[in-house]
């Protein structure tokens, strides 16, 4: 590293602290949204949950909309990274394991938080543009990961739509899990459609 000035040495930990605060706020925001919905999720509630002052929270996120779209984006990125890490070789031999891992992305607290955000955005003009843009970005990234891990060849007719339909099914399974624990039924549906998809997608690429 060589010589660094005292100012620089002090700056780095401060940046780290700031980043840690930001991350605590984002994680608290997602947990809050998943548990209490949009109406119960204010910047004050999130700041308190994160153990951060309201002023510090507003320094990072000037508006409630900024905080919650950033929160859902942050966790979506974490999940994408975790999903890729599950299959470090890329296209997996076992497509059923890939389908299970993709569906799992839509059944946890992140999906629940995202669902609250989508539904709130559908009625709140202030929230709608950011959430629509975020949703499109997360959707494209999920599609790219699914194609890679399934070893699907999108130059073949119908393959793109087959994978899109799988992600739509995963989203629908997430919604079915909102009010009741739908785990046992979901497992059977996933096993069946993983087999149908394996046939439809043909040889791995």
Q: Which stretches of the chain bind a copy of itself, using CB under 8 A?
A: 35-37, 39-40, 112, 115-116, 118-123, 128, 131-132, 135-136, 139, 158, 161-162, 164-165, 167-176, 178-180, 185, 188-189, 191-193, 195-196, 200
CA 101 to each of CA 45, 57, 98, 107, 195: distance values in angstroms, whole numbers, following the listed order: 32, 34, 5, 10, 15
Instruction: Please count the CA atoms within 13 angstroms of the CA of 105 that sit on its side-chain side.
Output: 30
- CA atoms 35, 38, 40, 45: torsion sign: positive
Q: How far is the CB of 139 from a copy of itself (least distance, A)?
A: 8
Measured from the CB atom, the residue of 60 and 95 that comes closer to a copy of itself is 95
Picking from 82, 86, 91, the residue whose alpha carbon sits closest to that of residue 150 is 91
Residues 34, 41: contact at Cβ < 8 Å? Answer: no
Measured from the CB atom, the residue of 81 and 132 that comes closer to a copy of itself is 132
**CA 94 to mean position of chain CA atoms:** 23
Measured from the CB atom, the residue of 7 and 39 that comes closer to a copy of itself is 39
Q: How far is the CB of 165 from a copy of itself (least distance, A)?
A: 4
How would you class 61 by CB atoms within 10 Å of its CB: exposed for 0-12, middle for 13-18, buried for 19 or more? buried
- Residue 133 and residue 148: Cα distance in Å, rounded? 23
- ∠ CA 174-140-193, rounded to 5°: 45
Q: How far is the CB of 149 from a copy of itself (least distance, A)?
A: 19
Measured from the CB atom, the residue of 58 and 198 that comes closer to a copy of itself is 198
- Residue 38 and residue 104: Cα distance in Å, rounded? 23
Measured from the CB atom, the residue of 16 and 156 that comes closer to a copy of itself is 156
Q: How far is the CB of 46 from a copy of itself (least distance, A)?
A: 16
Q: How far is the CB of 145 from a copy of itself (least distance, A)?
A: 17
Q: How far is the CB of 142 from a copy of itself (least distance, A)?
A: 12
Measured from the CB atom, the residue of 21 and 107 that comes closer to a copy of itself is 107
């Amino acid at each position: 590293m060589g010589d660094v000035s005292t100012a620089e040495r002090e700056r780095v930990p401060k940046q780290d602290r700031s980043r840690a605060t930001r991350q605590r706020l984002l994680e608290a925001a997602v947990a809050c949204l998943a548990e209490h919905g949009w109406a119960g999720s204010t910047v004050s509630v999130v700041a308190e949950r994160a153990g951060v002052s309201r002023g510090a929270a507003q320094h990072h996120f000037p508006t409630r909309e900024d905080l919650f779209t950033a929160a859902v984006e942050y966790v979506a990125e974490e999940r994408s990274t975790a999903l890729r890490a599950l299959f470090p070789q890329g296209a997996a031999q076992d497509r059923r394991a890939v389908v299970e891992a993709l569906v799992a992305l839509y059944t946890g607290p992140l999906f629940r938080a995202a669902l609250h955000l989508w539904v709130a955005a559908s009625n709140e003009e202030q929230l709608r543009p950011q959430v629509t843009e975020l949703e499109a970005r997360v959707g494209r990234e999920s599609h790219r990961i699914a194609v890679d891990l399934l070893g699907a060849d999108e130059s073949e007719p119908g393959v793109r739509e087959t994978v899109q339909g799988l992600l739509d099914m995963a989203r629908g399974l997430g919604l079915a899990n909102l009010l009741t624990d739908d785990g046992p039924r979901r497992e059977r549906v996933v096993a069946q459609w993983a087999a149908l998809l394996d046939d439809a997608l043909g040889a791995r690429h």
